[in-house]
A and B are shown apart, each in its own frame.
Chain A
């Protein structure tokens, strides 16, 4: 248990200075970092022919974001289908089927990294390093850019002047400048540090083909074994710090080659939450609203600790199959004994709180209540959340709480001196309600037609497997209850729909809301204003998040993990 407290403490202590640094990056603070990185950024602007000082309206910003992603997804889709013909493929790996390539490209494009394939066996080095890793760097940076645009527009400093963009619309910033800074000054340096640490622990880093080993024990009939290697360390680093989650090897961070030592496990666990937590502190530094940042952090930590505690407790209970036996102990099915039940439950909880999705154990093998926690984490999806998008999602709940809170005390709804009106609330509703609509809709159809399901468990656990898969796709998480046979046209296409809409609508709608609010006349914040930086309002926001999640998903939780737990108890 002590290791859990230490990991929480170290992560939050590192997140504070990193948050301050990130705020400086986007506030244009000149310093050593600026002097080092600015020439690189200017070179990139010239290379791509973009003007970083051109202000953009929210529509322009959103379209620039979509265009970049569209180009990337088409390139990666083609690369995955054609990898069998291309170079950097020493193990002669074939191209992917169209539906698997579609799912994989959209999955990595949306910072999800849901994998319906096994990386070491079905991706060439070219596809890994130039397709997958490129997206693993660009997509978290895009999330960070969108967050910065929303925060500076919605909560920007009062003395900050809004520049008109073209036809007098409010400027939300410049997408190209934001994403370039996020990549060059944040994602790459942090990933490089983590890559060096884990490479020093023994994670492979080579372009040579697979190694051949002769097993000492040949009783299983295996005379030699191919051990795939490759440039694993950089990919694992960006997979963790970028809330990506897609590993080089199929079993992800439970493989000794991907996570060899206690030190690598510690560093990777911290890396999962580091940047999402840092962005909460950055919110305070960027806007000058540090009390608000502390309240947001308080709510997120409260959700994180309470859910993680339940997961750890559950996984330290015996597996039902061992009930009453002398060997009874923590549930170690599907876990690396190197890590044990507590560290695996902590990872499982954090990886689903942050939309990371990497695993160091099999979530499918968690006890029913332990398996329910990752699902709840992904339903909420704002307990830290993915880079940028987690805090964007929290701001949506904050708007909803401000609207409901204002009505409860009989005031006209407002936030930061701006009136919350029909248009903004319609957008909040679209962004929030699309989640249960897509997850529950696709799950219902899939469960109704068993031929589509392909799951390994027909009972309550089978329902959990289906719900988990769509939830993971919509939450842009990527982890899975891997008992599911999910490499089929149905799963690949429907998950791709969840992935894309779960990524872009919850980014675009808040961007539109922020611009809409910024265009309104601002009433000075005074004693009559609704204070959003108090513990009371934090509690109100927490209540809204909990109520929304329970109202949307309690029935499926009862049909899946809760029914399974009750069945095992009886």
Chain B
């Protein structure tokens, strides 16, 4: 049986109901939302970490 397209993308895409038939992963929405939120937070965390390094560089320069 061919997998529903969302099953292929569920781990990588923002949680969406299927755009054509509004199909939703049965019973998995809270877990899915948690997973996506976690992924988004990891991305934001990496961005903040990289910018934190740059801000830190400005403040550390005085010690050179």
Contacts and interface: CB of A to CB of B under 8 A. Distances in A.
Interface string B27-59: 000000000100110111011101101110111
Interface residues of A, number: 40
Interface stretch (A78-86, A282-290, A404-412, A540-548): A78-86
B9 A94 contact: yes
Contacts of B64: 422-423, 426-427
A350 B53 CA distance: 32
- Looking at chain B's contact residues, is the secondary structure mostly helix, strand, loop, or mixed? helix
A50 to B, nearest CB: 19
Contacts of B25: none
Interface of A: 59, 62-63, 66, 69-70, 73-74, 77-78, 81-82, 84-85, 92, 94-102, 105-106, 422-423, 426-427, 493, 496-497, 500-501, 504-505, 508-509, 512
A66 B14 contact: no
Contacts of A66: 51, 54-55, 58
Contacts of A106: 47, 50
Contacts of A77: 43-44, 47
Given A63-B55, A101-B43, A426-B64, A84 B13 contact: yes
Given A94-B16, A98-B43, A493-B46, A512 B54 contact: no
B40 A98 contact: yes
A348 B61 CA distance: 37
Nearest to A95: B14
Residue in B12, B36, B42 with the greatest tally of chain A CB atoms within 10 Å: B12
A98 B44 CA distance: 9
Given A81-B14, A94-B16, A426-B64, A500 B39 contact: no
Interface residues of B, number: 25
A449 B39 CA distance: 24
Contacts of B50: 106, 496-497, 500-501
Given A427-B64, A509-B57, A512-B58, 19 more contacts: A59-B58, A62-B58, A66-B54, A66-B58, A70-B47, A70-B51, A73-B51, A74-B44, A77-B43, A84-B14, A102-B47, A106-B47, A423-B64, A493-B46, A497-B46, A504-B57, A505-B54, A508-B54, A508-B61
Contact of B43 (A92, A94, A99, A504): A99
Specify which of A98, A422, A427, A497 lies most central, judged by the most chain B CB atoms within 10 Å of its CB.
A98
A508 B47 contact: no
B47 A97 contact: no
Nearest to A109: B47
B61 A98 contact: no
A148 B42 CA distance: 35
Contacts of A81: 14, 40, 43
Contacts of B57: 504-505, 508-509
Contacts of A493: 46
Contacts of B51: 66, 69-70, 73, 500
Most chain B Cβ neighbours within 10 Å, of A97, A422, A493, A509: A97
A151 B21 CA distance: 59
Given A81-B14, A97-B12, A423-B64, A508 B58 contact: yes
Which among B19, B42, B44, B58 has the highest number of chain A CB atoms within 10 Å?
B58
Nearest to B36: A98
Contacts of B19: 84, 92, 94
Given A77-B44, A427-B64, A85 B16 contact: yes
10 contacts: A63-B58, A70-B47, A70-B51, A74-B47, A78-B40, A81-B40, A96-B13, A496-B46, A501-B50, A505-B54
Contacts of A69: 51
